[in-house]
Structure 1
Amino acid sequence: MYKPKEGLYQRFIKRILDFLLALLAVLILSPLLIVVVILIKLDSKGPVFFTQERPGKNMKMFKVYKFRTMLQDAVKHQKVGVEVRGNDSRITKLGNLLRRFKIDELAQLFNILKGDMSIVGPRPTLPDYIKQYEDWELRRFDVKPGLTGLAQVNGNIFLEFKEKSAYDIKYIEKISFLMDLKIIIKTVAIVLIGEDKFLKKSETQMGGEK
């Protein structure tokens, strides 16, 4: 499959910015991260972090980090490839709160520091999803998975599987500093005001990212 030549931003600048921004975020958010660690330990038995193998760039497997939001036994027996929904009874009360504000995903800042992930890119998919992808969708593995992405600021959970893939490939074809900046700003807005309100505001004022 043909791969477009990577520009200077994608080859060098993006990784430098990823590392610096992730490091800055960890430093600024360290009080919050420490509180989350303490609350998880007080809330239920089990490890602070949930780790799971995910395919990254060029389908190279890596361990993705999340703050644990489920009961310990549920984590132990969770099957790879089975997506957890928000109404799952195995999710703790604290876990629901962490998921609502995307705080559980902040552990992936350490994946970014390690170089497994980028701040912006297609979200790391479950391994079992690979066999569901058509050839054009496999281009998602041409880049590192991201903490947030174009699909996440254009409907996310309201999008169909193929719609998410279309946004992911559109991002890969148009990667730029300005696009990354726009996605980061929109992601912050979604976390602060909620996905429903953000999408309604986007539809009325901007018409969304088409």
Structure 2
Amino acid sequence: MTPAKRTFDLTVSILLLALLWPVLAALILLLLVKEGRPVFYVAERMRTPEQSFGLIKLRTMRPAPYGTRATGVTGGDKSDRMSGLHRMLRRTRADELPQLWNVIRGDISLVGPRPPLRIYVEAFPDLYAAVLRSRPGITGLASLRYHATEERLLAHCRSAEETDAVYRRRCVPRKARLDLIYQRHATVCHDVSLIAETAGRVLRLAPRRFPRKARPRRVPATVD
């Protein structure tokens, strides 16, 4: 990471936290009232092929049933563990607001490849050795260009095994290709344009209501 990119990350993250802390506080209170504890979810992610860190998110899924170990990405198999509030947080990416603290700590950048789970880094070592030459980020080219496709693919999966297989076969290589394109053209100006595009999408999605229970529900493609 260049000094210019790090300075940009720190400046923007501190400014966003100063502006958005009332929103974050309101979401924390809403989660406490409607869903109870815990409010935060700290997930292991990889900063480099060898170095992990704790990625901080607002919790957007009820805990797995006792005796069940929840691993891998989230697909339709986990949809029954999400409430309307959880889905709204995922759809608008509001659950990722606490990750600004990860940026300030230096775990991730504002823009870069999404930090992967250890199991996928170990399954695709050569691929992620190249991708993780860039500091992972909250948003990025792959997040913006492939999210809708990933959401559609994983929403139809009905078991953890199917979700994992689809993600490995159809998502990992395509997202990595986009991450490497970003890597070759990474500049602060490019980061500004991707952040602006992300903000525009969030603002367009924010007014939508929670999904009604009677409607078929699509699960936002993300990692649990």
Q: Note the C-alpha offset of 1:73.
A: 4.7
Match of 2:199 among 176, 188, 192: 188
Identity %: 30
Secondary structure (helix, strand or coil) at the match of 2:60 reads: coil
RMSD: 2.1
C-alpha distance 136-128 of structure 1, shift in aligned 2 (>3 A)? closer
Q: Note the C-alpha offset of 1:77.
A: 4.9
Q: Note the C-alpha offset of 1:134.
A: 5.8
C-alpha distance 94-130 of structure 1, shift in aligned 2 (>3 A)? same
Aligned counterparts, 1:1-210, within 5 A: 10-73=1-64, 77-80=68-71, 82-85=72-75, 88-133=79-124, 135-158=126-149, 160-161=170-171, 162-194=173-205
User: Take 2:97 and 2:38, find their aligned partners in 1: how far apart are those partners?
Assistant: 16
Q: Note the C-alpha offset of 1:179.
A: 1.1
Provide, for residues 91-140 of structure 1, a one-character-per-residue CA deviation record: whole Å limited to 9, x for no partner: 12211111111100111111001110100000011111113326244211
Please tell me whether the aligned partners of residues 112 and 134 of structure 2 are also in contact (alpha carbons under 8 angstroms): yes
User: Take 1:16 and 1:52, find their aligned partners in 2: how far apart are those partners?
Assistant: 26
Aligned pair count reads: 184
User: Take 1:46 and 1:73, find their aligned partners in 2: how far apart are those partners?
Assistant: 14
TM-score (norm 2): 0.75
TM-score (norm 1): 0.80
Please tell me whether the aligned partners of residues 54 and 63 of structure 1 are also in contact (alpha carbons under 8 angstroms): yes
**Unmatched segments (≥5 aa) in structure 1:** 1-9, 195-210
User: Take 2:50 and 2:19, find their aligned partners in 1: how far apart are those partners?
Assistant: 32
User: Take 2:177 and 2:119, find their aligned partners in 1: how far apart are those partners?
Assistant: 19
Q: Which protein has greater RCO, CA pairs closer than 8 Å, 6+ apart? A: 2
C-alpha distance 63-77 of structure 1, shift in aligned 2 (>3 A)? farther
User: Take 1:84 and 1:78, find their aligned partners in 2: how far apart are those partners?
Assistant: 13
- Equivalent residue, structure 1, for 2:220: none
Please tell me whether the aligned partners of residues 46 and 72 of structure 1 are also in contact (alpha carbons under 8 angstroms): no
